[in-house]
Structure 1
């Protein structure tokens, strides 16, 4: 588990959480209009928030 989480956390620490994940990501998903990508992106944000808590 540690080996899996460490690179993801290292990538997150490079960028601010809110602006990077919510800002550009959501606009791209809204433009594409794919519900599956929206849902996957939503759960992806939840996992990122869970890692920070």
Structure 2
């Protein structure tokens, strides 16, 4: 019974450490965003707008 308890605690510690590692790695990823196009003359969305 003591062995099962020790193994359970070790497994819990490993799970917490792996979760912290994966979360920290996920937050360090830099996401890029495409720049907004400045060409309004060829943009079909802006064709119906009146100046």
Tell me, yes or no, whether TM beats 0.5: no
Q: Which has the higher helix share?
A: 1
Answer with 1 or 2: which has the greater Rg.
Answer: 2
TM-score under structure 1 normalisation?
0.37
